[in-house]
């Protein structure tokens, strides 16, 4: 009897100890004490090293019955300047009165200006945080990160988080961007090759026009109401907007051909003020260049990260005329790309083989698309186009940017017996002199529904 009594007493004492010990951790993880960040923006700060912007959704945004119909009112933006990410987050914690939690952060946006100075510290710090998922997207914006996040208003989707989820789908279906994650970037950064990529984002034509208009109005208003404290935040915003406008193309300078198209230069107009086109290229942790939409397709075809994409080639049946028309084809890679790396005379010789099926989307008059020679002509023209584009892309990446974003170096590892031999070879330097051999085998299958015009 007394033995059981002692056991019960010990049991209750232990329960009391563990309640005391674990309750604080439990309370800190309680939903009421947390504010879930949907997206994090990092800009160059004016008074401190960086400016942190956190985007949240209002609780009403998750309510299917109620809530405002205005999508922008569902978003809450908070920003502040600090010397490091986590001191910035702490500052925002004190402002919000809750703890910012990054467990549901879907994208981390770096401004182009910030990325040029290097983002290594920020990437290591974020990966070091238990809450951040490796699958969080990484994006470099042509405008400021604040402006990018401020313009991410969900239009088709109800929540911005659903918009961020579309990155992976857009990547596989268009090839204009890649679904790049912070985990992937960290792995590349910590490897020997030290080359990384990020999604390239910017403002669309509508947002660019709005921001250029507001910057003009903002400067007038600023001079007339200098002492009005309520306009301080607006003026700051308009200032950052005007900065961003200077970074982005003027609304009139829109680019329409995919060979030159990058985020912040398209003709897209729409309620959501952001667009993602192309890739940001890093050498180490520093932004060193950009890839256009077509270059992004080339990159994704090599990396087997695209299911289908559309390319526009010169019409092979109308090439004699001065204003040659364009033909659009939908491409479907049928096999995984075959990459071989040979090292001869200390120079990497990289051969790439791609096997792609294609469908003709744009039909011309008086062409019988059933004819084998017609399809053969289209196949040849598409092959030549892709080989040239991919070769130009590889030359740009190796000679101009000197960064192996396709991880060809991993294929070369097999040629070395030990790690010291590999380090002595100095792949980063040798990659600049790499020679490429691109073989694309395009088979145009059909012209979809109409076979003769």
Partner 1 sequence: MDNTKIGNKEAIALLVTIAFNHMILSITKSIISFTGSASLLNILYVGVITIIFTCMICYFLNKFPTFDLIDISKYLGGNTLKWIIGILYVAYFIFFSGILLHIFSSSLQIIYFPLTKIFYISLFFIIGAIIACNLRHNSVYRSTLIIFPLLIISTLFLFLSDIPYYEVEKMYPIFGNGLFTTFVSGLCNMFAFQGLAYIYFMPPILKEPTKIKKIAVTSIIFSCIFLLIIIAIILFLFAGFVETDELMPIYSAAKYIEFGSFFRKMDSLFILIWIISFVSYLSITLKFSTSILKKLTNIKNSFIFTCILGFALLMVSIWPKDYSVSTNIADIVYKYSFFILVIGISFLVLLFSVIKQKIRKWFK
Q: Which residues bind partner 1 (CB under 8 A)?
A: 14, 17-18, 21-22, 24-25, 28-29, 103, 124, 130, 133-135, 165, 183-184, 187-193, 407, 410-411, 413-414, 416-422
Minimum Å gap between C-beta 387 and partner 1 is 25
| Largest Cα–Cα separation, the chain | 105
371-377's contacts with Cβ under 8 Å and 24+ in sequence apart are 374/317, 375/444, 375/445, 375/446, 376/444, 377/316, 377/317
Minimum Å gap between C-beta 339 and partner 1 is 10
Minimum Å gap between C-beta 181 and partner 1 is 9
Minimum Å gap between C-beta 69 and partner 1 is 24
Residue nearer to partner 1 on the CB measure, 197 or 215 = 197
Minimum Å gap between C-beta 195 and partner 1 is 11
Beta-bridge partners for 438 = 352
d(CA 378, CA 317): 9
Residue nearer to partner 1 on the CB measure, 86 or 416 = 416
Residue nearer to partner 1 on the CB measure, 317 or 422 = 422
Q: Evaluate whether 88 touches 81 at the Cβ level (below 8 Å).
A: yes
Residue nearer to partner 1 on the CB measure, 229 or 418 = 418
Q: Which residues contact 99 (CB under 8 A, 6 or more apart)?
A: 28, 33, 34, 35, 93
Residue nearer to partner 1 on the CB measure, 90 or 407 = 407
End-to-end alpha-carbon separation of the chain, Å? Answer: 98
C-alpha separations of 12 from 25, 77, 133 in Å: 21, 47, 38
Residue nearer to partner 1 on the CB measure, 411 or 432 = 411
Minimum Å gap between C-beta 424 and partner 1 is 11
C-alpha separations of 76 from 84, 96, 152, 204, 232 in Å: 22, 11, 11, 21, 18
Residue nearer to partner 1 on the CB measure, 182 or 281 = 182
Length of the chain: 453
Residue nearer to partner 1 on the CB measure, 32 or 69 = 32
Query: Per the structure block, which two tokens stand in for 90?
Result: 């702490």
Minimum Å gap between C-beta 2 and partner 1 is 16
Q: Evaluate whether 43 touches 53 at the Cβ level (below 8 Å).
A: yes
Beta-bridge partners for 358 = 331, 444
DSSP code, position 157: S
Residue nearer to partner 1 on the CB measure, 28 or 117 = 28
Q: Evaluate whether 108 touches 136 at the Cβ level (below 8 Å).
A: yes
Residue nearer to partner 1 on the CB measure, 103 or 255 = 103
Which residue's entry shows tokens 């702490």?
90
Minimum Å gap between C-beta 173 and partner 1 is 16
Task: Decide: helix, strand or coil at residue 427.
Answer: helix
Minimum Å gap between C-beta 188 and partner 1 is 6
Taking the CA atoms of the chain, what radius of gyration do you get in angstroms?
A: 26
Minimum Å gap between C-beta 162 and partner 1 is 9
d(CA 271, CA 203): 11
Angle at 302 between CA 301 and CA 304, to 5 degrees: 65
């Amino acid at each position: 009897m007394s033995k059981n009594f002692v056991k019960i007493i010990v049991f209750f004492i232990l329960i009391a100890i563990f309640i005391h010990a674990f309750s604080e951790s439990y309370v800190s993880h309680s939903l009421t004490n947390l504010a879930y960040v949907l997206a994090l923006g990092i800009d160059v700060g004016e008074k401190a090293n960086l400016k942190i912007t956190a985007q949240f959704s209002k609780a009403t945004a998750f309510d299917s019955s109620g809530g405002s119909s205005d999508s922008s009112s569902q978003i809450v933006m908070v920003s502040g300047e600090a010397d490091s990410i986590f001191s910035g987050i702490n500052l925002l914690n004190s402002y919000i009165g809750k703890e910012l939690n990054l467990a549901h952060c879907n994208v981390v946006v770096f401004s182009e200006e910030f990325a040029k100075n290097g983002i290594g510290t920020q990437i290591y710090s974020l990966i070091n945080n238990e809450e951040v998922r490796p699958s969080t997207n990484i994006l470099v914006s042509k405008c400021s990160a604040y402006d990018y996040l401020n313009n991410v208003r969900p239009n088709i989707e109800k929540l911005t988080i659903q918009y961020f989820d579309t990155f992976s789908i857009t990547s596989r279906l268009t090839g204009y961007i890649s679904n790049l994650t912070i985990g992937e970037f960290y792995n590349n950064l910590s490897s020997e090759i030290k080359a990384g990529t990020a999604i390239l984002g910017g403002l669309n034509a509508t947002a660019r026009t709005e921001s250029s208009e507001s910057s003009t109005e903002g400067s007038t208003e600023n001079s007339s109401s200098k002492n009005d404290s309520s306009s301080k935040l607006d003026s700051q915003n308009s200032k950052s907007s005007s900065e961003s406008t200077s970074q982005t193309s003027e609304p009139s300078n829109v680019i329409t051909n995919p060979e030159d198209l990058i985020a912040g230069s398209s003709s897209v107009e729409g309620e959501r003020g952001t667009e993602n086109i192309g890739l940001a290229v890093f050498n180490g942790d520093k932004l060193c260049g950009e890839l256009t939409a077509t270059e992004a397709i080339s990159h994704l075809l090599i990396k087997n990260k695209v299911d289908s994409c559309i390319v526009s080639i010169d019409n092979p049946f109308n090439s004699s005329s001065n204003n040659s028309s364009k033909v659009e084809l939908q491409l479907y890679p049928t096999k995984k790309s075959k990459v071989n790396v040979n090292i001869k005379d200390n120079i990497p010789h990289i051969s790439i083989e791609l096997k792609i099926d294609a469908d003709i989307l744009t039909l011309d008059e008086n062409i019988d698309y059933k004819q084998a020679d017609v399809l053969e002509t289209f196949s040849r023209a598409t092959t030549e186009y892709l080989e040239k584009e991919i070769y130009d892309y590889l030359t740009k990446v190796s000679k101009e940017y000197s960064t192996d974003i396709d991880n060809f170096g991993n294929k070369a590892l097999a040629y070395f017996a030990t790690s010291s031999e590999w380090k002595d070879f100095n792949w980063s330097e040798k990659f600049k002199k790499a020679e490429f051999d691109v073989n694309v085998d395009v088979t145009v299958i059909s012209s979809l529904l109409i076979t003769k015009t």
